[in-house]
Structure 1
Amino acid sequence: MQSTNVLGQPLQACSHDPLTGYLRDGCCHSLSDDPGQHTMCVQVSAAFLAFSRQRGNDLSTPRPEYGFPGLKPGDRWCLCALRWVEALQAGVAPPLYLAASDEQVLDYVSLETLVEYAIDRPAAG
């Protein structure tokens, strides 16, 4: 499966430890059968994990029955684009990786905003 990232280049892997992605293949692909559109590769922070828990999605508690180890600050994870937008509006948006975020994210957030929060920000030139 070849997907494109927000920079128009081949989508890079987000994380294999913990294993992420809707398909649990390490990548944040845009897939028609993924209702949450887990297309944004982020580095979770304590503030974001607390925010997500308050919104009813506890990402820090392990759920072995689903093969989910629970996330800790610093982990990379494929996040729903709309959850990131909510976090942005609340002032707790986690930093992200442009190279590992699917181009579909651009349907929700401008590239300029993404670059502002990017860990792998392109060099000015």
Structure 2
Amino acid sequence: MEKDPPINVLGEPLVPCSNDPITGFFRDGHCNTCAEDQGSHTVCAIMTDEFLAFSKYVGNDLSTPRPEFGFTGLKAGDRWCLCASRFMQAHDEGCAPKVDLSASHRRALVIAPLEVLEQYKLVE
């Protein structure tokens, strides 16, 4: 699998999203992607209790540990490379998490418009 160039939604070099917990399609801490990444795990999102409950409700439980996969479960405040379509679904339902634009891959823009992502940008 060949990674797409590591460029973020702002047209700059992609910065890490999280190494604790380790995230990304490639589990490299970045929201890197490639043609095989059907889910487009490209939005670096900061988890909230509200978003985690929503994700569980729609069938993607990110908060329950799955030790058989080395997954400890996410909690509010964790950063995670989220599928762009799940982000948009949460946006449409009014419970989208904050987003680190510098750590979100430009491929996210195929699904999530920059104007929408900017509404949730993390202000540090």
Moved over 4 A (4+): none
- How many residue pairs are counted as aligned between the two chains? 121
Partner of 2:74: 71
SS in 1 for 2:98: coil
**CA offset digits 1:30-66 (Å, max 9, x no partner):** 2111121100000010000000000111000010111
Q: Which runs of 5+ in 1 are unaligned?
A: none
* Percent of pairs with identical residues: 51
- The answer as to 2:20 corresponding to 1:20 is no
Gaps of 5+ in 2: none
TM-score by length of 1: 0.92
Structure 1 residue 104 and structure 2 residue 107: aligned?
yes
- Alpha-carbon distance in structure 2 between the residues aligned to 1:111 and 1:36: 18
Cα drift, residue 113 of structure 1? 1.7
- Does the 8 A contact of 1:49 with 1:58 survive in 2? yes
Q: CA RMSD in A?
A: 1.3
